[in-house]
């Protein structure tokens, strides 16, 4: 890793309440820049060079803080307390049944209607990094425990953006955090991600029901979900598969291959910090030459092909279409709090949450 980026900030806009929202920008030595807002801890833009050295924004987004406040696509946001879904908005912890915000039919999605994506985080610079902090009170969206969250963004001269998540709690509570960035490495208005080439280091994924709740694990071998070898996304979207029809594309969690645990017990995930950070996915756009790798210490990677972006207001007053961008969200499994291995996603006073995920962007000739 090379030296951390230069950090600056400037006024950006206001919320419907009139509250001003600044924009913080990390810049590295090669002109790459990543802009982040206190609203939702959101990555608003990421300008990266193509093979000819031309900068382009590789992330989808909106123009103003007000649009982010009103939108429901979670573009670039820090998502919590629970990323993805909890079936029926219910779980049992320490013998107590909890009912949390059901903001997607009967399920909780991405922390509820007032999740971390709509919170105002407190930002400050520390040694060229951007540190975002947030306090979530007991009862937020129905979750137990007071939680203090710290998320650090670091951009280095190699084009790697590290997102380091830490959280502590005063009572047992589920925690599953992620960043919901939509990527399009073409960085062109109107472009889709069908020509992108993707690989994911996973032998299995979760099949889902009609509400996108996992129902069983399935092997990727021999079907559209097999990205163990790099494959064009567009061709896979056209592959006949009941799960693709059900979700209108990919919106599934991949079960990443398990690395060897550094302390030898094989457990920990987002809360234990015991799994090493390893490369789990690679995305390439042949037209621009941009390539992005994803590395994480998490067990799951949600691959979403922007199936419901139709009509979503985007940059410069334009509207997006389905598959205008894709998400590669590292974290625990959807509804894992109701699975047999739920202890992996429960934080406790003596078991703080920790996650490290890295997105590295470069070019191929």
Mean of pLDDT values over 192-198: 98
Q: Which of 38, 62, 323, 329 is catalytic?
A: 329
Mean of pLDDT values over 334-361: 98
Smallest CA-to-CA distance from 165 within 347, 319, 361 is with 347
Q: Which residue has 């951007």 as its token pair?
A: 130
Q: Judge whether residue 269 has pLDDT over 70.
A: no
Radius of gyration of the chain measured on its C-alpha atoms: 19
Beta bridge partners of residue 8, listed in sequence order: 25
Hey, is 339 helix, strand or coil?
A: coil
- Our answer to whether residue 138 is catalytic in this structure is no
The pLDDT value given to residue 260? 65
Structural tokens at position 15: 């919320």
- Our answer to whether residue 180 is catalytic in this structure is yes
Mean of pLDDT values over 244-255: 98
Q: Which of 62, 110, 180, 252 is catalytic?
A: 180
Q: Judge whether residue 233 has pLDDT over 50.
A: yes
Band (274; pLDDT cuts 50, 70, 90): low
CA distance 26 to 317: 25
Mean of pLDDT values over 299-328: 96
The end-to-end CA distance of the chain, in Å, is: 22
The pLDDT value given to residue 327? 98
DSSP assignment of 227-267: -SS-EEHHHHHTS--HHHHHHTS-EEEEEEPPPPPTTSS--
Q: Judge whether residue 234 has pLDDT over 90.
A: yes
Structural tokens at position 57: 């924004």
**Average pLDDT, rounded, for the chain:** 94
- Burial class (CB within 10 angstroms; exposed 0-12, middle 13-18, buried 19+) of 319: exposed
Q: Judge whether residue 365 has pLDDT over 90.
A: no
Q: Judge whether residue 336 has pLDDT over 70.
A: yes
pTM of structure: 0.95
State what percent of residues in the chain have pLDDT above 70: 95
Query: Which domains does the chain carry?
Result: 6-363 (2.70.98.10)
Cis peptide before 81 (omega within 30 of 0): yes
């Amino acid at each position: 890793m090379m030296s951390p980026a230069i950090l600056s900030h400037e006024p950006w806009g206001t919320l419907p309440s009139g509250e001003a929202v600044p924009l913080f920008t990390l810049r590295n030595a090669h002109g790459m820049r990543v802009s982040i807002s206190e609203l939702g801890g959101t990555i608003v833009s990421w300008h990266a060079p193509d093979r000819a050295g031309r900068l382009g924004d590789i992330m989808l987004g909106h123009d103003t803080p007000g649009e982010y406040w009103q939108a429901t696509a979670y573009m670039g946001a820090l998502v919590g307390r629970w990323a993805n879904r909890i079936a029926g908005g219910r779980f049992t912890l320490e013998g107590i049944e909890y009912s949390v915000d059901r903001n997607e039919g009967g399920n909780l999605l991405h922390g509820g209607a007032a999740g971390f994506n709509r919170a105002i985080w407190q930002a400050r610079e520390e040694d060229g990094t951007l540190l975002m902090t947030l306090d979530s009170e007991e009862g937020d969206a129905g979750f137990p425990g007071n939680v203090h969250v710290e998320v650090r963004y670091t951009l280095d001269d190699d084009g790697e953006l590290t997102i380091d998540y830490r959280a502590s709690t005063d009572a047992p509570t589920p925690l599953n955090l992620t960043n919901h960035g939509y990527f399009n490495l073409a960085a062109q208005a109107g472009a889709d991600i069908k020509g992108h080439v993707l690989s994911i280091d996973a032998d299995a994924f979760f099949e889902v029901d009609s509400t996108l709740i996992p129902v069983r694990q399935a092997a990727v071998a021999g079907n559209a979900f097999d990205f163990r070898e790099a494959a064009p996304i567009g061709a896979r979207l056209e592959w006949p598969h009941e799960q693709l029809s059900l979700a209108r594309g990919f919106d599934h969690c991949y079960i990443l291959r398990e690395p060897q645990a550094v302390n030898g017990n094989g457990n920990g995930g987002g809360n234990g910090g015991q799994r090493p950070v390893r490369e789990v996915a690679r995305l390439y756009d042949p037209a621009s030459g941009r390539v992005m790798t994803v590395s994480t210490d998490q067990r799951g990677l949600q691959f979403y092909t922007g199936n419901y972006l139709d009509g979503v207001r985007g940059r410069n007053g334009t509207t997006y279409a389905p598959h205008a961008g894709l998400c590669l969200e590292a974290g625990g499994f959807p509804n894992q709090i109701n699975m047999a291995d739920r202890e992996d996603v429960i934080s406790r006073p003596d078991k703080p949450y920790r996650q490290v995920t890295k997105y590295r962007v470069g070019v191929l000739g």
